[in-house]
Amino acid sequence: MATPVERLFALFDETAKILQDELQCTYLEAVAETGENVFHGDVLQEEVSELNAKRLKKQYTGIQLERFTNEEIRKAFQLAVLKGMKEHVQPHHQMTPDAVSLFISYLVNQFTRKHLALTILDPAVGTANLLTTVLNHLKGKQTKSYGVDVDDVLIKLAYVNANLQKHAIHLFNQDGLQPLFVELADVVVCDLPVGYYPHKENASRFVLKAEEGHSYAHHLFIEQSLYYTKEGGYLFFLIPNTLFSSDQAAKLHEFIKEHAVIQGLLQLPLSMFKTEKAAKSIFILQKKGENVKAPKKALLAELPRFSNKQAMQAMMRKIDEWIAEEKGK
C-alpha cells in the first residue's frame, strides 16, 4: 500500500511528464506547472491537447489535497523537485536536506519560545523547502514570511509549494543582495549560497566586500540578513565549515562581533556530505539590541547522525537544557 507521500509524488511525477512533452519544457518547469494545476484542480495551460487535458484533469480531480498534511504535501513536492534538479543540474539548484530543515525548525521553535508572533525571512529561498518546513513546525504562533530568490524557476516552485501548503509567503523574484522590500524580521533562516558574487558594483555597497576581485556571496548574505533583522532577532544560517578559515574571514569575524552575538555553532555530521570540503554547520546569531546578552558559553557541538535516534534525542536534551539556562524557562 503506497504511503500518502508516495501517492502524491506519483501524481506530481506522472502529470509533470505529460506537461513536459506538451509544453516542450524541462521536467522542473513542468513540476511547477502541474503543482499549480493541482492547486486549482484544473489544467491551466491552453496549449495542452484536448486528450491530454482530459487525462490530466481526471488525475487532478482524483486527489483531494485537504486529505494530506502540509508535511506530506511538502515532502511529495520536494521529491519531484529533487528529481528535476538531478536532470537539470545547476550549482545553485540544491535543496537543503530534509533532516537539516527539520532540525533548524526545532531550533527556531526553541529560540523563539516566548514569541507569540514572528516575521520570518529567507533571502535565498530557493523552492521554499526550508522556509515551509519551519512554518509547518512553528507551534501556535502568528507568522508573516518573506522569501527572495533571483532564479525565476525556483521562485515559481516556491510559489506553488507555498500555495499547496496554504502558506501566505510574500515572494520576490530578485537578487537577494539588492535592497529588499520586506519588513524587518524576527527570524532569518538561510541556506547560504556559497561562492563568488558576480556583481561588483552592488557588492561595493557592503562592508564585507572584497578589497580586490569578487566578494564572497555567503559573506554578503550574512551582512544583508543582519540589516533586515530586528534588534534581538535570531539568524539561523547553514554555512560551509570553511567560513572562518577563508582569506576574508577576519573581516567577517569583526563585522559579526560588531553587530551580533554568536549563540551557537552546530556541526552537521560529516557522513551527510560527499567530501569533508563540502561539509556544513548551523550557525546561530542574535542581532545586538538593548536586552541582548552574549551567552555565558555559546552552544557548540558536533551533531550525531540524524538516523541515530538515541544520540539525537540526547543532543536535543542538551540543547533544551542550554536554552533553559541561557534564555530562562
Do 216 and 145 lie in a common domain? yes
Q: Which residues of 27-58 are buried (b: 16+ CB within 10 A; e: fewer)?
A: bbbbbbbbbbbbbeeebebeebeeebbebbbe
CATH assignment of the domain containing 311: 3.40.50.150
Which of 27, 53, 87 terminates a domain? The answer is 87
pLDDT band at 127 (very low <50, low <70, confident <90, very high): very high
Task: Give the whole-angstrom CA distance, residue 44 versus residue 192.
Answer: 34
Strand blocks (E) in 174-254? 185-191, 196-197, 215-216, 229-240
Tell me what pLDDT residue 88 has.
65
pLDDT band at 93 (very low <50, low <70, confident <90, very high): low
**Is the pLDDT reported for residue 90 higher than 70?**
no
pLDDT band at 76 (very low <50, low <70, confident <90, very high): very high
**Is the pLDDT reported for residue 318 higher than 80?**
yes
Mean pLDDT of 138-149: 94
Task: Give the whole-angstrom CA distance, residue 134 versus residue 108.
Answer: 8
298 found inside a domain: yes
- Lowest-confidence segment of 29-43, 80-94, 279-293 by average pLDDT: 80-94
Do 161 and 304 lie in a common domain? yes
Mean pLDDT of 228-250: 94
Do 82 and 109 lie in a common domain? no
Residue position matching grid coordinates 541561557? 326
Do 71 and 102 lie in a common domain? no
Tell me what pLDDT residue 147 has.
98
Do 117 and 76 lie in a common domain? no
Task: Answer for the pair 140, 175: CB distance below 8 angstroms, yes or no.
Answer: no
**Is the pLDDT reported for residue 309 higher than 80?**
yes
Ordered DSSP codes for 132-186 = HHHHHH--S-EEEEEEEES-HHHHHHHHHHHHHTT--EEEEES-TTS----PPEE
Do 61 and 108 lie in a common domain? no
Number of C-beta neighbours around residue 115 at 10 A: 18
Give 101 or 94, the one with higher predicted confidence.
Answer: 101
Do 171 and 225 lie in a common domain? yes
Tell me what pLDDT residue 278 has.
85
Q: Specify the number of domains making up the chain.
A: 2
Give the cell for residue 235.
539568524
Strand blocks (E) in the chain? 117-122, 142-149, 169-173, 185-191, 196-197, 215-216, 229-240, 260-267, 280-287, 299-302
Do 164 and 243 lie in a common domain? yes
Cα radius of gyration rounded to whole Å, the chain: 21
pLDDT-above-90 percentage for the chain: 87
Tens-digit pLDDT profile for residues 192-209: 999 999 999 999 999 999
186 found inside a domain: yes
Give 244 or 316, the one with higher predicted confidence.
Answer: 316
Mean pLDDT of 106-117: 94
Q: Which residues contact 11 (CB under 8 A, 6 or more apart)?
A: 38, 59, 60, 63, 76
| Structural domain for 71, as ranges | 4-87
Tell me what pLDDT residue 1 has.
85
pLDDT band at 323 (very low <50, low <70, confident <90, very high): very high
Task: Give the whole-angstrom CA distance, residue 152 versus residue 156.
Answer: 6
Do 33 and 54 lie in a common domain? yes
Do 68 and 185 lie in a common domain? no
pLDDT band at 140 (very low <50, low <70, confident <90, very high): confident
Give the cell for residue 119.
516575521
Number of C-beta neighbours around residue 181 at 10 A: 10
Which of 67, 87, 107 terminates a domain? The answer is 87
Do 111 and 249 lie in a common domain? yes
Tell me what pLDDT residue 89 has.
58
Task: Give the whole-angstrom CA distance, residue 70 versus residue 137.
Answer: 10
CATH assignment of the domain containing 14: 1.10.150.470
Tell me what pLDDT residue 87 has.
77
Do 143 and 83 lie in a common domain? no
Which of 87, 120, 142 terminates a domain? The answer is 87
Give the cell for residue 322.
542550554
